Chain A
Amino acid sequence: QVQLVASGGGVVQPGRSLRLPCAASGFPFSTYGIHWVRQAPGKGLEWVAVISFDGSNKNYADSVKGRFTISRDNSKNTVYLQMNSLRAEDTAVYYCVKDRRYCSSSNCNQFDYWGQGTLVTVSS
Chain B
Amino acid sequence: DVVMTQSPLSLPVTLGQPASISCRSSQSLVYSDGNTYLTWFQQRPGQSPRRLIYKVSKWDSGVPDRFSGSGSGTDFTLKISRVEAEDVGVYYCMQGTHWPPTFGQGTKVEIK
Contact = CB atoms under 8 A, between A and B. Distances in A.
Interface of A: 44-47, 59, 61, 95, 106, 108-117
5 contacts: A44-B105, A45-B41, A111-B51, A111-B94, A112-B51
B97 interface: yes
Given A44-B92, A44-B106, A112-B54, A61 B100 contact: yes
B37 A47 contact: no
Interface of B: 37, 39, 41, 48-51, 54, 60, 92, 94, 96-97, 99-106
Main secondary structure of the interface of A (DSSP, over half): loop
A100 to B, nearest CB: 10
B106 A59 contact: no
Contact of A110 (B54, B92, B102, B103): B54
Contacts of A117: 48
A106 B39 CA distance: 16
Contacts of A112: 51, 54, 60
Contact of A95 (B49, B60, B92, B96): B49
Most buried by B among A45, A46, A113, A117: A45
A45 B100 contact: no
Nearest to B60: A112
A24 B76 CA distance: 32
Given A95-B48, A117-B48, A109 B37 contact: yes
A108 to B, nearest CB: 8
A109 B97 contact: yes
